[in-house]
Amino acid sequence: MAGVAFGLLTAATGGLDFFEGWLIAAYLLIALFFVNGAVNERVVRRLGEKAVEAEAGQRSVEEVVSEMAATNRPTLLFVINVAIFAAIILDMVLKPF
């Protein structure tokens, strides 16, 4: 969040046009980064709640363990966030648009 704030402050004080193509691409990539993070948080939270239920005896431990083992979604979402972060850096350095 601080990076976004400082980036906007730099654009404002540095005489950059807020609507240049590379900045619009950066805005979209940052939005995707946060949306993907929110989805990842929801998936991990759901698995955590099921684990707490299993610990309390309300759900089978084996069922929760098998669901956690079968779910590769948090890893996939993390990889997607890394790719988005790399795209943001490339966009800022190369300014392709």
Identify whether the C-beta of residue 12 lies closer than 8 Å to the C-beta of residue 71. Answer: no
Domains of the chain, residue spans: 22-94
Q: What pTM did the predictor assign?
A: 0.73
CA neighbours within 13 Å on the CB side: how many for 87?
17
Q: Does the pLDDT of residue 81 top 80, yes or no?
A: yes
- pLDDT for res 70: 84
